[in-house]
Amino acid sequence: MDETRRHDGSEEVTKEDETVMDSEQGSMLSHIISQLRPGADLSRVTLPTFILEPRSMLERITNFMAHPEELLSIPKVDDPVKRFVAVTKFYLSGWHIKPRGVKKPLNPILGEIFTGYWDYPDGTKGYYIAEQTSHHPPKSSYFFMAPEHNIRIDGTLKPRSKFLGNSAASMMEGIAVLRLLNTGERFFVTQPNMYARGILFGTMKYELGDHAYIRCPETGLVADLEFKTKGYFSGTYNAIGGFIKDASGKNLYELSGLWNEEMYIKDLTTGKKELLFDAGHTKHTPPMARPLKEQDERESQRLWHDVTEAVKRRDQDVATDAKAKIEEMQREEAAKRNSEGVDWTPQLFRRVQGGQGGSEEGEEDLDWIINAKVDGKTPEEKVKQILQIYAILPGQKPDRQFNIPSRTNSIHPAQTQQPVQVQQPMQPEQAQPAVVPQHQEQSVGFPTNFDGSTTHAPLPYRSIPNDPGNPPTVPFQKPSPQSTTISPEHREQIAQELPPSKLLNSNPAPEPRSNVLRRKDSETQEDEEFQDAQS
């Protein structure tokens, strides 16, 4: 049974998750499996295309945000316990979204990107950006935000596949952090593991299993959710159970039901049991994406287009050939990087600043987080910051170039020329190492106003110091070699005209305390102090 999609793009909800293979498909899969031993890593095994879901893992993650009717109402709940219950309900609402049978999403290649958006009934939008930040081991990092609703989600999914005999397991490591910007709460979320049963004999069956957790460090509330697998002689498929506990460990609510049908919640104080979510009679909202002609070659839908179209029409030969070309391209890129000694760095994400005292302490399991500050004072400013990270909306061409600001009182109007611009990030297939420190975020939109005008007068080219010992660099590109040097006399003249730049990390001396500006970071709530930039 291959997947079938409705005309509106959503998959059908099925009560059975079985795959029935013909003799040829069964022989092919058995041949592959027969070469494995229990515990073997399946991430390097090329699986036949008839068990593939026609979309990348980067796109499949959007199942997590596909019930906006459950998500957008969360920040409006006043009571923190009921708000936690609403988060739990939202978390459980997405597991029924899947193709028929046992299907595996396409493994994203290194540097692959997927962006999408949702149009909400109130006229607002939700924005999603994902990138494959590692290939071995696989790591899919993603960012979601609904600015008008004070919701942000950061996550990294790290699936680890194992062969277990007559079953294959995807151990879903990694976390997601759902943030409510209006309350300051964070909800740390893990995922259940996924199992494909009966791959050697019997009927192939898809199951979710083991424990998943939702934890809010700000309130101490925890949800321990058990996804139950069916036993040989007892139990049922797709069952869930679990409890919501307070900070002292006391059980407040009990959860039960089936993750693909009706789920219930029981208030253990009153004994009242009620329907939490009915997955069997609901319709999810998949994200929309830009047309293929507007997408870059490394974006998921364009990258895998030939493969997914062949999978949909069950043309296994074409799908296998198209998939092999992409995988061979990835191997050639890796070999070239190794031969040239180039370390690959994600284009849109940076390493988490974890550890004791780090700005993201406690979020180390994210590994990677979006490499941009989205901290506008209004939802409109945040939207513009998000859209400058990467193209998300149809027709959008984000201008990721920005002007280096200067002191307006140090530049004569007659000197104002074309502003210095930072070049646009290179595409991942160029395999160039990033030179921006991984701990340094892009401050999206800082040097310019959101209407495109600059906040400071531009610098003339001749006024910028050119220090061969500290050459200026641009994001995601190698520094250009310096062809000339500056004499000490000329350097002293420049220093008198324009002090060294703090913005370019080349100012060892403290700057005067005049013109000190303050702001409060919307995420850390810390006061930051800075001066009008000198260059």
pLDDT tens-digit series, residues 7-36: 344 444 344 455 544 444 555 455 555 555
Predicted confidence (pLDDT) at residue 81 exceeds the cutoff of 80: yes
Predicted confidence (pLDDT) at residue 211 exceeds the cutoff of 50: yes
Predicted confidence (pLDDT) at residue 443 exceeds the cutoff of 50: no
Q: Are 57 and 26 in contact (CB under 8 A)?
A: no
Predicted confidence (pLDDT) at residue 495 exceeds the cutoff of 70: no
pTM of the model: 0.70
As a whole number, mean pLDDT of residues 505-521 equals 48
Nearest CA among 348, 346, 328 for reference residue 336: 328
Q: Are 229 and 207 in contact (CB under 8 A)?
A: yes
Position with higher pLDDT, 195 vs 490: 195
User: Per-residue confidence at 197, pLDDT binned at 50, 70, 90?
Assistant: confident
Helix or strand or coil: residue 351?
strand
pLDDT in tens, 226-246: 999 887 666 788 999 999 999
User: Per-residue confidence at 163, pLDDT binned at 50, 70, 90?
Assistant: confident
What domains, with CATH codes, occur in the chain? 36-353+375-389 (2.40.160.120)
Residues in Cβ contact with 477 at an 8 Å cutoff, skipping those fewer than 6 apart: 423, 425, 426, 432, 435
Residue 206 pLDDT: 87
Q: What are phi and psi of 83, to 5 degrees?
A: -65, -40
Mean pLDDT lowest for which of 37-51, 353-367, 395-409? 395-409
CA separation for the pair 126, 144 (Å, rounded): 7
Residue 522 pLDDT: 58
Residue 429 pLDDT: 42
Predicted confidence (pLDDT) at residue 374 exceeds the cutoff of 80: yes
Q: Are 211 and 191 in contact (CB under 8 A)?
A: no
